[in-house]
Structure 1
Amino acid sequence: MRFEELLDQVGGFGPFQLRNVALLALPRILLPMNFLLPIFLAAVPAHHCVLPGAPANFSQDMWLEAHLPRESDGTLSSCFHFAYTQALPNTTLGGEGQSRGELQGEPSTVPCPQGWEYDHSEFSSTIATEAPRCLSLQWDLVCEQKGLNRATSTFFFVGVLVGAVAFGYLSDRFGRRRLLLVAYVSALGMGLATAASVSYIMFVITRTLTGTALAGFTIIVMPLELEWLDVGHRTVAGVLSSTFWTGGVMLLALVGYLIRDWRWLLLAVTLPCVPGIISLWWVPESARWLLTQGRVEEAHRYLLCCARLNGRPVGEDSLSLEALRKVAAAERVVRRPSYLDLLRTPRLRHISLCCMMVWFGVNFSYYGLSLDISGLGLNMYQTQLLFGAVELPAKLLVYLSVRHAGRRLTQAGMLLGAALTLGFRLLVPTEKVYWSTALAVTGKGFSEAAFTTVYLFTSELYPTVLRQTGMGLTALVGRLGGSLAPLAALLDGVWLSLPKLTYGGIALLAACTALLLPETRKAQLPETIQDVEGKSAPSSLQEEQMPMKQVHD
């Protein structure tokens, strides 16, 4: 007897599974609120050098005009000011018989030695505007320090990358539910520490560790849902679960609009971990995983609970401890899972290498599009809300596509759509703002559809004994793409269109790679490495790429 047969007896989709999806909704909401938080947390408002000593009879605009040079686009400089060789008299500029050069001497342009003045009309405080408390606690992340501002997102995703490896391995070894508790507690503690940061270094370290903790949500939640679902309902439950991510994207726009101080904003997205910790009391451990570990009594208790909630009468013989021991004997893991197991056998190696490229492309293009909300003719709150709203039809598109076209074609098609919209944006003149906005929103929809698909697709490709480990490895490479996406935006200093070209090119390469993966539509979840490889290792690439459902036919 296989686990799929046990699941058919206790109910593969019912109140038990719906309750599980609802209990695991909170981490899916919190993820985008943290991952996209730099949009508001690290926002850079208008600023200029501190210019003390403005005479009372000077207007602010005239004073700035006299002391700030202009950029090539005609705007006043944010990073430099004039240093005059002659003091500015306490009279109105341009007075009769007095020229600017005669009064002030020849000016030279210098950086801002006394810091910056910020426009606080939109934000009361961001990490970019945080003033240093002493010279060793450097904030003011603007001008020559703007790279440090971008780097905060990179450090965060590096933390997610490390966490993906750790949680992927540990949850396969110690269980999904236990490691989800570790993720919740760690995210809460590190989030509170980040909000209390007194220096940039402290902020970077605690924010990176927050990313490490939040990686547990990305790795554990989807498999913990899927491992309780039958084949016919995995798609609808996966897409339903992913809509909570969209809810988090839209909720971030509201929270960012209501809270304009970065410390309070961090607290607002961190404190919901408290009810999440409490909710784990009702979250079931994966019975699939328990059986592979030989923990029959615990699996029996959860299966009985599932049958009771789903209203399924279960006979003593079919769900007896003896029957479960036979299932566990066939599926029990003798050797602990290792990342090397993903590369030892031909088919798993092929799947792993392709999935890593796809995850890199999905993350790189998604965060490249999501974190760049400038130049779209809308304020940042409207843009964020629109970016969230477009994900809803994207989810519907994924639901229909994976059911009819399959996972592989859906994954490749969505990545191709994101690449094409990025390419078309390069051809749109800068004055056509609304066309650029429409293409950006469309590209965001395609990239989110690709993200939704890759979680479902990857979870179905790996066997139960290596599912978390496989998700951890591929997510690791994906988060590498996410960590490089903010830095790729700095390529606009080389060529203005280079960031978009980079995002689109990587997405196109990932789309081509997705076509090399096996199809999993209507396939049973593989339990062991042998289920993936078949009775014997494939002898050719064609055999490696045969649909996974053939293994189970």
Structure 2
Amino acid sequence: MAFQDFITQIGSLGRFQILHLIFVQICFILIVPHTVLENFTAAIPSHRCWVPILDNNTMSDNNSRILSQDDLLKISIPMDSNLRPEKCRRYIQPQWDLLHLNGTFSTVTEPDTEPCVDGWVYDQSTFLSTTVTQWDLVCGSQTLNSVAKFIYMTGIFIGHLMGGHLSDRWLSESARWLIVTNKPQEGVKELRKVAHINGIKNSRDVLTLEVVKTTMKDELEAAETKPSPLVLFRTPNLRKRICLLSFVRCVSLISTVGLLINLQYLTNNVFLLQCLYGVVITPANLLGNFSMNYMGRRTTQIIFMSVMGISILSITFLTQEMQIPRLVLASLGGAISSASLTSIAVLSNELVPTVIRATALGVIGIFGSAGAALSPLLMILVTYSASLPWIIYGVLPILSSLVVLLLPETRNQPLPDSIQDVENK
């Protein structure tokens, strides 16, 4: 509790903290769009097999000249169960007899079909070019689209591992960190700087090296032995908290990232859905902050993750024709997911002890990044069932909300400064 007394003296929410908050938000603004960009750069437009009679401009067949495009399509591409042209197969030979059926079913055997051996024709009305159309990541190669997203998210995961070490080199450290790492003079200087920015007068008289050393005596003694990451798992209560928080963070990001990078599967208009998500995310986060302050961190996390899971599961029961309900549920799920990530981040900060908080949050963050990296791979399951990935994305948040019940509430509770504080609770 010693350092918190200094925070009160220099201003707990002043100009300094607000400026830092703004800078952090700018970083998020620059980073997050790269993830949701996958909905556009890796979009899967409507497609069908390339067939000579339809797509070869040099064809001189007299019949193909007098027939309409719809007739040519009918004799070249079989229809799926929704009476739409198949995306991955074509007739081996043009089926001229189909022109005379007039909507009735043929009594003969089904014509022979083959895969799209000559490539595909893509609808360019919305996207002129994507990674899918560039490399033909459809049909038998559709899983490679998920693998490409996995590689991208793996890059973020590697960056997460490296970021901590790079930030120690390039960024100025907090006053608390400077003091407990045997740099008290620099820590006092940082405290005075914060007090000056926040407009606190006479801080030089109060914040002296002697006062800091005396007030933070216990923390300085505890910091003499630098704890390793293994210490997180040596005591029962702390081990339980780290494991549960890591699981919740991992599972939350699996569903959140899975939803945000696959919006194109949920609607026919990904641009509209992306705009709706951007509109509702700010009110959702404001609601999350209000809920955390008045209902508690744990209750907020439970409610928000449950709502997110129910929203995703509900979409699986709606047909593609029910576009408005799908848009509403997808926007709600995306916005709530962002607010729930904020609440679990706050809960994690307040449940781990100060002396090893950076290490603990790093471990929890690694599990979260691993979940985000694995998330795109679940879409490979669409080859077995179109709804299966979304069922998993929906069940996981509900499961994590149940796990949160095993964690203590932290609203209006003092932050644990040492591992002993966690164990004593």
> What band does the TM-score fall into relative to the shorter chain?
0.7 to 0.9
Counterpart among 302, 306, 311 of residue 412 in structure 1: 302
Counterpart among 116, 125, 128 of residue 120 in structure 2: 116
Letter in 1 for 2:176: R
Q: Is residue 2:72 matched to residue 1:68?
A: no
Give the drift of 1:117: 2.9
Letter in 2 for 1:121: S
Q: Work out whether residues 312 and 333 of structure 2, in 8 Å CA contact, stay in contact via their aligned partners in 1.
A: yes
Partner of 2:399: 509
Letter in 1 for 2:258: G
Q: Is residue 2:176 matched to residue 1:288?
A: yes
Partner of 1:156: 152
Partner of 1:381: 271
For residues 4 and 249 of structure 2, the distance between their equivalents in structure 1, rounded to whole angstroms, comes to: 28
Give the drift of 1:378: 5.0
Helix, strand or coil: the match of 2:287?
helix
Partner of 2:103: none
Q: Work out whether residues 15 and 198 of structure 2, in 8 Å CA contact, stay in contact via their aligned partners in 1.
A: yes
Distance change (3 Å), C-alpha of 1:378 and 1:113: closer
Give the drift of 1:448: 2.3
For each residue in 1:98-121, what CA deviation from the matched residue of structure 2 results, as whole angstroms up to 9, or x when unmatched? xxx9xxxx9642223333333333
Distance change (3 Å), C-alpha of 1:5 and 1:167: same
Partner of 1:390: 280
For each residue in 1:463-498, what CA deviation from the matched residue of structure 2 results, as whole angstroms up to 9, or x when unmatched? 233222222222222233323332323334434433
Distance change (3 Å), C-alpha of 1:315 and 1:44: closer
Give the drift of 1:449: 2.1
Letter in 1 for 2:191: L
Partner of 2:420: 530
Helix, strand or coil: the match of 1:44?
coil
Give the drift of 1:166: 4.4
For residues 364 and 225 of structure 2, the distance between their equivalents in structure 1, rounded to whole angstroms, comes to: 22
Q: Work out whether residues 10 and 314 of structure 1, in 8 Å CA contact, stay in contact via their aligned partners in 2.
A: no
For each residue in 1:399-421, what CA deviation from the matched residue of structure 2 results, as whole angstroms up to 9, or x when unmatched? 11111111111111111222233
For residues 356 and 482 of structure 1, the distance between their equivalents in structure 2, rounded to whole angstroms, comes to: 13
For residues 60 and 427 of structure 1, the distance between their equivalents in structure 2, rounded to whole angstroms, comes to: 35
For residues 159 and 465 of structure 1, the distance between their equivalents in structure 2, rounded to whole angstroms, comes to: 30
For residues 203 and 311 of structure 2, the distance between their equivalents in structure 1, rounded to whole angstroms, comes to: 56
For residues 78 and 497 of structure 1, the distance between their equivalents in structure 2, rounded to whole angstroms, comes to: 19
Partner of 2:21: 21
For residues 289 and 479 of structure 1, the distance between their equivalents in structure 2, rounded to whole angstroms, comes to: 25
For residues 483 and 450 of structure 1, the distance between their equivalents in structure 2, rounded to whole angstroms, comes to: 19
Q: Work out whether residues 255 and 396 of structure 2, in 8 Å CA contact, stay in contact via their aligned partners in 1.
A: yes
Counterpart among 353, 373, 377 of residue 463 in structure 1: 353
Give the drift of 1:511: 0.5
Helix, strand or coil: the match of 2:113?
strand
Counterpart among 316, 330, 336 of residue 446 in structure 1: 336
The aligned runs of 1:261-276 (5 Å cut-off) are none
For residues 164 and 529 of structure 1, the distance between their equivalents in structure 2, rounded to whole angstroms, comes to: 25
Structure 2: tracts of 5 or more residues without a match: 101-105
Deviating above 6 A after TM superposition, structure 1's stretches of 4 or more consecutive aligned residues are: none
Partner of 1:133: none
Helix, strand or coil: the match of 2:91?
strand
Helix, strand or coil: the match of 1:110?
strand
Letter in 2 for 1:461: L
Distance change (3 Å), C-alpha of 1:37 and 1:466: farther
For residues 203 and 332 of structure 2, the distance between their equivalents in structure 1, rounded to whole angstroms, comes to: 52
Letter in 2 for 1:125: S
Partner of 2:137: 141
Give the drift of 1:381: 0.7
Give the drift of 1:38: 1.2
For each residue in 1:74-109, what CA deviation from the matched residue of structure 2 results, as whole angstroms up to 9, or x when unmatched? 2222323333399x9xxxx969xxxxx9xxxx9642
For residues 144 and 152 of structure 1, the distance between their equivalents in structure 2, rounded to whole angstroms, comes to: 15
Q: Work out whether residues 166 and 472 of structure 1, in 8 Å CA contact, stay in contact via their aligned partners in 2.
A: no
For residues 512 and 313 of structure 1, the distance between their equivalents in structure 2, rounded to whole angstroms, comes to: 48
The aligned runs of 1:325-336 (5 Å cut-off) are 325-326=213-214, 330-332=218-220, 333-336=223-226
Larger of the two Rg values belongs to structure: 2
Distance change (3 Å), C-alpha of 1:61 and 1:465: farther
- Using the size of structure 1 for normalisation, the TM-score is 0.66
The aligned runs of 1:469-508 (5 Å cut-off) are 469-508=359-398
For residues 236 and 159 of structure 2, the distance between their equivalents in structure 1, rounded to whole angstroms, comes to: 27
Q: Percent identity?
A: 34
Helix, strand or coil: the match of 2:90?
strand
Distance change (3 Å), C-alpha of 1:422 and 1:24: closer
Q: Is residue 2:309 matched to residue 1:313?
A: no
Q: Work out whether residues 273 and 327 of structure 2, in 8 Å CA contact, stay in contact via their aligned partners in 1.
A: no
Helix, strand or coil: the match of 2:290?
helix
Give the drift of 1:329: 5.0
Letter in 2 for 1:286: S
Structure 1: tracts of 5 or more residues without a match: 96-100, 131-138, 182-279, 535-542, 544-553
Helix, strand or coil: the match of 1:128?
helix
Helix, strand or coil: the match of 1:129?
helix
For residues 78 and 299 of structure 1, the distance between their equivalents in structure 2, rounded to whole angstroms, comes to: 64
Helix, strand or coil: the match of 1:158?
helix
Q: Is residue 2:16 matched to residue 1:128?
A: no
For residues 334 and 167 of structure 1, the distance between their equivalents in structure 2, rounded to whole angstroms, comes to: 25
Give the drift of 1:512: 0.9
Distance change (3 Å), C-alpha of 1:344 and 1:402: same
Partner of 1:435: 325
Q: Work out whether residues 75 and 94 of structure 2, in 8 Å CA contact, stay in contact via their aligned partners in 1.
A: no
Partner of 1:7: 7
